[in-house]
Amino acid sequence: MNRIALITGATSGIGEATAHLLAKNQFDLILCGRRANRLETMKAELSGLTSVYSLSFDVRDLAAVKKAVQSLPADWQNIDVLINNAGNAHGLDPIQTGNTDDWDAMIDINVKGLLYVSREVMPGMIARQRGHIVNIGSIAGKEVYPNGNVYCASKHAVDAITDGMRLDLNPHGIKVTGIHPGMVETEFSLVRFKGDTDRAQGVYKGLTPLKGSDIADLILFAITRPAHVVVADMIVFPAAQASATVVKRTL
Ligand code: NDP
Ligand code: 8X3
């Protein structure tokens, strides 16, 4: 029997790649994101492979998160795997001139959004005494780099929340995994630089970045280990990257 995985941020990048991979690997999918049209397209693409349900909501909106998760039909409520992936960087500015709207977006989406979704899903996992939560952090949650300030803070918070979840959910048999990628070419830099495609493409110039599917592979690996194994934490870079700031480029 298929397991049910709920993926936030399924409309692009890492989340979209994960949906495609899990659809081929015995998972039924609850796909989440704000862009309802993309969710519908993915549902049409993946429905030949597995059962797909979609929920369109903004993770910043607690009432919308509750309404969406509570609206799931009975046969979709037993979520086995929660993949907290929705998130982005907004801006790359020195802290003293940082845009406070960008700060709000990163803290509200990357930190509070992850908490809101988890808060709705964890009680069911506890009632069933099983489940797996995968939080997508970042190398920005392990290191701090110039002008990364608040994005790094938001991802350090994800790292701490992941460890906190593992401790508090331990008595309930729920696995918790943190995955911390370096540079992955998705819509991430386009969002960070507010649609400036030249600047976004420049981030990956002279190296082969990771793809969303590389992270999807790790997620699938983590959630298909035997019952007695939990992958607690993973950092993954492109081969050209050695830290948040050390990258070998051929220009
Ligand atoms: P993308 O921009 O391609 O995807 C981001 C996803 O998050 C989209 O599906 C988007 O959906 C969703 N999202 C953003 N804001 C909201 C919101 N307010 N409510 C609901 N969903 C939202 O980037 P990535 O795939 O790269 O990012 C996925 C995760 O990976 C993020 O947490 C990011 O921080 C992390 N990460 C990315 C790295 C990279 O280099 N790309 C490296 C390390 C970590 P929609 O717009 O439809 O709502
Ligand atoms: C995304 C990776 O290095 O741009 O989280 O912060 S980085």
- What are the extents of the domains in the chain? 3-236
For the CA of 60, the nearest atom of ligand 1: 18
Region 118-127: mean pLDDT is: 98
CATH entry 3.40.50.300 includes domain 3-236: no
Task: Outline where DSSP puts E strands in the chain.
Answer: 3-7, 27-33, 52-56, 81-84, 131-136, 174-181, 233-236
**Does the beta carbon of 174 sit less than 6 angstroms from any atom of ligand 1?**
no
Contact, 109 vs 86, CB < 8 A?
Answer: yes
Residue 3 pLDDT: 98
pLDDT band at 95 (very low <50, low <70, confident <90, very high): very high
Q: What is the pLDDT of residue 217?
A: 99
Q: Which of 53, 116, 145, 151 is catalytic?
A: 151
Active site residue 145: no
Residue 251: the pLDDT is: 74
Closest ligand 1 atom number to CA of residue 84: 32
- Confidence label for 144 from pLDDT (cuts 50, 70 and 90): very high
The reply to whether ligand 2 has any atom less than 6 angstroms from the CB of 117 is no
Does the pLDDT of residue 56 top 90, yes or no?
yes
Q: Is 104 in the pocket of ligand 1 (CB under 6 A)?
A: no
Please state, in angstroms and rounded to a whole number, the distance separating the CA atoms of residues 87 and 33: 10
Distance (angstroms) between ligand 1 centre and the Cα of 38 equals 14
Q: Please tell me the predicted confidence (pLDDT) of residue 22.
A: 98
SS3 169: helix
Report the percent of the chain where pLDDT is more than 90. Answer: 99
Q: Does residue 50 register a pLDDT over 90? A: yes
Range list of β-strands (E), 164-250: 174-181, 233-236
- Full-model pTM: 0.99
Q: What's the mean pLDDT when you consider all of the chain?
A: 98
What pLDDT score was predicted for residue 155?
A: 99
Q: CA angle, 220 as apex, 137 and 235 as ends, to 5°?
A: 35
Q: Which ligand is nearest to the CA of 110?
A: 1
Q: Which atom of ligand 1 is nearest to the CA of 185?
A: 41
Per-residue pLDDT, 158: 99
Nearest-atom index, ligand 2, CA of 151: 6
With cut-offs at 50, 70 and 90, classify the pLDDT of residue 91.
very high
Determine how β-strand 131-136 pairs with β-strand 52-56. Answer: unpaired
Please tell me the distance between residue 40's alpha carbon and the centre of ligand 2 in angstroms: 29
Residue 86 clears pLDDT 90, i.e. is over it: yes
* Average pLDDT of span 67-94: 98
Ligand 1 centre from 185 Cα, in Å? 11
pLDDT at res. 116: 99
152 CA distance to ligand 2 middle (Å): 8
